[in-house]
Amino acid sequence: MQIKLSNLGKRFNYEWIFRNLSYEFTTGKAYAILGHNGSGKSTLLSILSGFQLASEGKIDYAVNGRAVTVEELYRYLSIAAPYQDLLEELTLEEMILFHTRFKALRNITPQQLPDLLNLQASRHKLVRDFSSGMRQRLKLGLAIYSDTPLLLLDEPTTNLDQDGVAWYLEHLHQNRRNRLVIIGSNVPHEYSFCEEQLPINQFHYKAQGRKKL
Ligand SMILES: Nc1ncnc2c1ncn2[C@@H]1O[C@H](COP(=O)(O)OP(=O)(O)OP(=O)(O)O)[C@@H](O)[C@H]1O
């Protein structure tokens, strides 16, 4: 999987969030998009996922050398993000089965996933009754264990305790081979293993004087 950004820019109303962003993401590596609160990490991840449009510039996606349109991207992508909804009325088992109707899992059956999430005791619990840490583990588990070449994680350890953080690092490590992993974060323990770092504030744009910050 390759993603090439050419002079990408995003603005909301009159405010440019970033501009002139040219960069290339390549499979097999993990990338950290870094920056302070409000710097544009989630906005960039959301644009990379095809959920939001850029205001200017271009993104080219390719899988095994074949160009992929943004409309086809969902087939190759899994994502875990704070703004992502879960299906509250389903039990854990039902939620996993629902998910696998759209995305196959990587070398495991849906029945094995609750054990891998350390949520075996909650198989029949409704998702709406999950704690915030359990919800985060479920989001991460569905993304990490989906059989997709592109994995986008926004603030992956939000709401996780120390064991949860260790769980995230272990399971991501086991499932990142031959994938492109992109993490939006400002917490070092979430991204310290990433080979590449992209500080989004390098692409901030100041209207007065029309200069990069
Ligand atoms: N839909 C929107 N309409 C207007 N402004 C928006 C919208 N979404 C985001 N913004 C603005 O874009 C900027 C970047 O927000 P974003 O959520 O991408 O930052 P972030 O780096 O992910 O922050 P955090 O670390 O707090 O999650 C902020 O100034 C935010 O207010």
pTM as predicted: 0.94
Is residue 152 classed as helix, strand or coil in its secondary structure?
strand
pLDDT at 210 over 60: no
CA of 44 to the centre of ligand 1 (A): 10
pLDDT at 190 over 50: yes
10 touches 18 (CB < 8 A): yes
Residue from 13, 21, 41, 202 whose mutation best tests the ligand 1 pocket (most atoms within 8 A of CB): 41
CA dist 22 and 162 (Å) reads 36
Question: Looking at residue 205, what is its pLDDT?
Answer: 72
Nearest CA to ligand 1 atom 28: 38
Range of the domain at 197: 2-212
Average pLDDT for residues 162-185, to the nearest whole number? Answer: 97
How confident is residue 134, by pLDDT bands cut at 50, 70 and 90? very high
User: Would you say the CB of residue 37 lies under 6 angstroms from ligand 1?
Assistant: yes
Question: Looking at residue 49, what is its pLDDT?
Answer: 96
Question: Looking at residue 213, what is its pLDDT?
Answer: 45
From the centroid of its chain, how far is CA 148? Answer: 12
Kindly report, residue by residue over 2-17, the tens digit of the pLDDT. 999 999 999 999 899 9
Domains: count for the chain: 1
User: Would you say the CB of residue 158 lies under 6 angstroms from ligand 1?
Assistant: no
User: Would you say the CB of residue 17 lies under 6 angstroms from ligand 1?
Assistant: yes
Kindly report, residue by residue over 99-127, the tens digit of the pLDDT. 999 999 998 999 999 999 999 999 999 99
The complex's ipTM works out to 0.96
User: Would you say the CB of residue 35 lies under 6 angstroms from ligand 1?
Assistant: yes
Question: Looking at residue 207, what is its pLDDT?
Answer: 54
Indicate which CATH number applies to the domain containing 118.
3.40.50.300
CA dist 133 and 166 (Å) reads 13
Residue from 8, 16, 21, 39 whose mutation best tests the ligand 1 pocket (most atoms within 8 A of CB): 39
User: Would you say the CB of residue 98 lies under 6 angstroms from ligand 1?
Assistant: no
User: Would you say the CB of residue 83 lies under 6 angstroms from ligand 1?
Assistant: no
Question: Looking at residue 211, what is its pLDDT?
Answer: 45
Tell me the average pLDDT of the chain: 94
CA dist 157 and 160 (Å) reads 5
Kindly report, residue by residue over 191-208, the tens digit of the pLDDT. 999 999 999 999 887 655
- Residue 106's nearest CA partner among 187, 55, 161, 179 is 179
Nearest CA to ligand 1 atom 24: 37
148 touches 1 (CB < 8 A): no
